[in-house]
Chain A
Amino acid sequence: MGKKPRVGVFKFASCDGCQLSLLDCEEELLEIADRVEVAYFLEATRLPLTGSFDLALVEGSISTPEQVEQIHDIRARSRVLVTIGACATAGGIQALRNFASVHEFLRLVYATPEYVETLATSTPIADHVPVDFELRGCPVNKTQLLELISATLAGRRPNIPRHSVCIDCKRAGITCLPVAYGVPCLGPVTQSGCGVLCPSYNRGCYGCFGPAQLTNVQGLVQAYRRAGVPEDELDRLFHTFNAWAPGFRESTRPVPKETEGNTEH
């Protein structure tokens, strides 16, 4: 046996929920810790940031000038870099600022906006450095996360399906909420991964895993318009935790600003 692979877990703008999913692997956690060297994981250990990594797991979006520098440093230290969760893969809910004025947002939350340094945009990691794999979800699915870690360490591509929630829902035999009850549902255009959670709780999918491959977003938007879903409700439906993901981003509104983040105070 060679040296144990060095793994680092890194956080940018986020809620900590995706890295918590790693701590939520209660049964597997101590086993993972036996098989890899958890070399950097601020939420769990005081170990300082040193050396290089065989695998970097990155949570969160890029939203400050300092983070832009940090993500380049982490990329330079890491053989494989994978992003976990909607913030890291699409900019997160905080990317709603990309459609608005960050000046206005600062003024609403802080009495003295000059103290706060932030970028005008919240953007995915892949906008700044090359990313080897993106794991979707708000939050990520624990089983997919374990698959991602074991596949990456074994040097194979992770087996993560890219089809829609809708397909899983049909397979599970759940009554179609939009067809039967007129409930707007993003299942037809959202990537699988949640285990058809919302429809199995009698609730329309709200898009935690972002746009699926090969889906017709505009077709769904038109269908819901024809069905009488109010325009503002439709707009909000597509613009939540994956609002800035291509596909959802331009679904119902024009894209107002470039993703290149200029520093604003």
Chain B
Amino acid sequence: MAARQSERIKTIRVDALARVEGEGAFTIRLRDHRVEDVQLRIYEPPRFYEAFMRGRAATEAPDITARICGICPVAYQMSAVRAVEKIYQIHVPPEIRALRQLLYCGEWIESHSLHIYLLHAPDFFRAESALALAKSSPELRQHIERGLRMKRHGNEIVEMIGGRAVHPINVKVGGFYRVPTREELQRLLPDLRWGRDAAIETAKWVASFDFPDFTDDYEFVALQREDEYAILDGVVCSNKGLRIREEEFPDHFREEQVPHSHALHSRKVSNGEAVPGSDRFAGCYQVGPLARWNLNRAMAPEIARQVEADLPVRFPTANPYQSIVARSLEVLTAFDTAIKLIEAYEPPASPSVPFEPRSGTGAAITEAPRGMLYHRYTTDDRGILTEVTIIPPTSQNQLRIEKDLYLIAPRLVELPEEDACWEAEFAIRNYDPCISCATHFLKLQIERQ
């Protein structure tokens, strides 16, 4: 952090936002105590996935795109295989779909537990890190230890099905290279049952936090299904009446490049035109746990709905700081779903469905821990990629995060610089931003003029 003072402009600056995945910064510009503009800048260096994947085989997409993000590789693999399977007209049997859902539950548990306990909870206690939090009292150390154990059991699901927790090796177009036996999966059950209880404790703990008083009129967007809490597939829905198929996504959402960021911004549009509204935040929307829980909680497992009903936090909520509660209820959902999937598991007749490469275009969306992840591929008749588009959740949330910062900025101006920095970072971490994903870095800078 550095403070710079000149006659006309005062700048407060955090060189790198902490406890997020990747690198970013932001600027708040003030003139006569009025907020002029905010910019969330993502300076994570670009890695050009969409370019170097041209000329690669579509069957390589799950392993290559996994490397976009070490926190949510399964999400990349799932969106990738589903998009390619659409081109190749592959229909996987329900047993393979169930295994994919189980694998995804493992990643939700791992990623959400990491964010709740190691990245976000320290903000509610004004601690630098979870490590500092754990040292501050035996009780808090117990909480952190519980979170780490929950995370481990999520990783164990991914390891069992995927081979390893980061960049699993077992996912392929058409299914898996090898599928687990009933006995292998059932060995996970005792720890997952412990995890389900721990998730209930987690929900009660985080719901007892003091939440800053802040709400806005959000558009929440998520996949939806009528028969389950959507993770792998569904219809794209919002609380403002949007209801489209995943193929229609480009007709309703547009990516834009802005000078201050290496991540492309997403904005909701209508018939290819920006939605009416004079401000530059027009068409901003939120994806992720809060959007999903607000939209889909009726489809959550009974145990999660019961636990939610007894919490002091009411849903739907338009307070982004309460996303940590939605995240905890999703961990509970994931543990419970994983247990049921394992109890009902029958190995598929064959680990994967055979296929022939063909030319075509396919798009798919799945719910990464941080929100909708869109992949679109075009192949030639030998199955070589000729076009690749990937829209990660953090790109979609970027404009919405800027609007939150814009709205809290007048309050930040009144605070000492150190506190203003922290409050701004806190608001950004509500979204669990994954900046590695979004570029395919964060600095706080308040300019007072």
Contacts and interface: CB of A to CB of B under 8 A. Distances in A.
Nearest to A38: B131
Dominant secondary structure of chain B at its interface with chain A: loop
B18 A26 contact: no
B45 A240 contact: no
Interface string A41-54: 11111111100000
Given A16-B22, A26-B148, A109 B177 contact: no
Interface residues of B, number: 69
A109 B50 contact: yes
Contact of B19 (A43, A63, A105, A112): A43
A204 to B, nearest CB: 10
Interface residues of A, number: 64
Given A20-B71, A45-B131, A46-B425, A236 B57 contact: yes
Contact of B48 (A49, A67, A94, A197): A94
Interface string A187-198: 000000010011
Interface string B382-402: 000000000000000000000
A146 interface: no
A236 B56 contact: yes
12 contacts: A16-B71, A17-B70, A20-B71, A21-B166, A44-B18, A45-B19, A102-B48, A115-B257, A197-B164, A201-B163, A202-B178, A236-B60
Interface stretch (B91-99, B149-157, B191-199, B317-325): B149-157
A80 interface: no
A96 B130 CA distance: 37
Interface of A: 11-21, 23-24, 26-27, 29-30, 33, 38, 41-49, 63-64, 67, 92-94, 96-97, 100, 102, 104-106, 108-112, 115-116, 118, 122, 138-139, 194, 197-198, 201-203, 206, 208, 233, 236, 240-241
A46 B129 contact: yes
A188 to B, nearest CB: 18
B45 A23 contact: no
A14 B167 contact: no
A246 B437 CA distance: 28
B22 to A, nearest CB: 7
A130 to B, nearest CB: 23
A203 B177 contact: yes
Question: Quick one: which of A96, A202, A208, A240 has the most chain B CB within 10 A?
Answer: A96
A58 B284 CA distance: 36
B51 interface: yes
B3 to A, nearest CB: 13
B70 A15 contact: yes
Given A30-B148, A63-B45, A201-B178, A45 B128 contact: yes
Contacts of B50: 108-109
Contacts of A96: 52
A240 B436 contact: no
Contacts of A27: 148, 152
